[in-house]
Amino acid sequence: MAGHAQAVRAWSTVYGRFHLWAGSGVFQTLMEAVIAEAAARGQADLDLVSVDSTVARAHHHAAGMTVDAELLEALEKAVAEEKGLRQRGITPQ
């Protein structure tokens, strides 16, 4: 029975931490930072992004997500640059 109690606590700890981080914007900030870093290196290709919806479901409020204008501009520039490189047969580093 002690193992079951530990498993319940472990599950609730993971859920609690996830819920706290999601609510405080940790995942959003992390994703924006990773995308911005990839864009700065010329390694962002949003055509390759894929999320399996059977695993990750967005809350209905996520449908109206806004992206900082500066970040969006950097991402669009990185995608355009990478597409240009690919059209010339150059693989981005």
pLDDT tens digits for range 16-53: 888 999 999 998 898 888 888 888 888 877 676 665 55
Q: Flag whether pLDDT at 4 surpasses 60.
A: no
Q: Which helix (H) or strand (E) holds 10?
A: helix 2-24
Across the chain, which distance is largest between two alpha carbons, in Å? 64
- Tens digits of residue pLDDT in 57-67: 666 666 666 77
Q: Which residue has the tokens 């640059």?
A: 81
Sign, CA torsion 4/21/61/33: negative
State the pTM of this model: 0.40
Residue 11 confidence class, pLDDT cut points 50, 70, 90: confident
